[in-house]
Amino acid sequence: MLTRWADMWPDYDRTFEVMDNLQRLFSDLETYRRPGFSSTARGSWPPVNLHDSGEELVLSALVPGMSEKDLTITANQDMINIAGERKTSVPEGHSVHRQERGSVRFSRSFTFPCKCDLERVSASVKDGVLTVKVAKAPEAKPRQITITAK
């Protein structure tokens, strides 16, 4: 006679469900332990949003502790690259007792979803957020079509 594990142990299936959830939890915690984590794209730093406002593409990136001197932006016909480096240093005569924010160096590239006018690109950094605005080429902008009744 064969006996199933589930018959002998009523919580058999539930136990594996809990184990899967714990594995997922610890996997997510490992992601958060890395400097500059991103919950949507693991290992990608800085976290970035790229959206279309109609007239232009707007890229926003979280770059805490960085100024315009620490960042480099390059663009060509169909893509943009942002790069930067945040260095941490200890003031002279001081010693480190705990350091949770380390140095970080990054470079990320994004492909434009449409043609852009590279003559009209602006970038600013304020309160740890880098904002890059890239104007769309005239042929890529949405056009209003008039409807006539017959």
Task: Report pLDDT for 61.
Answer: 93
Strands 104-111 and 79-86: antiparallel
Read off the pLDDT of each residue in 76-100 and give the average, rounded to a whole number: 86
Say which DSSP state 11 is in. T
Class of domain 45-88+103-140: mainly beta
Give yes or no for residue 14 having a pLDDT over 50. Answer: yes
3-state secondary structure of 31: helix
The share of the chain scoring above pLDDT 90, in percent, equals: 25
Domain boundaries, the chain: 1-33, 45-88+103-140
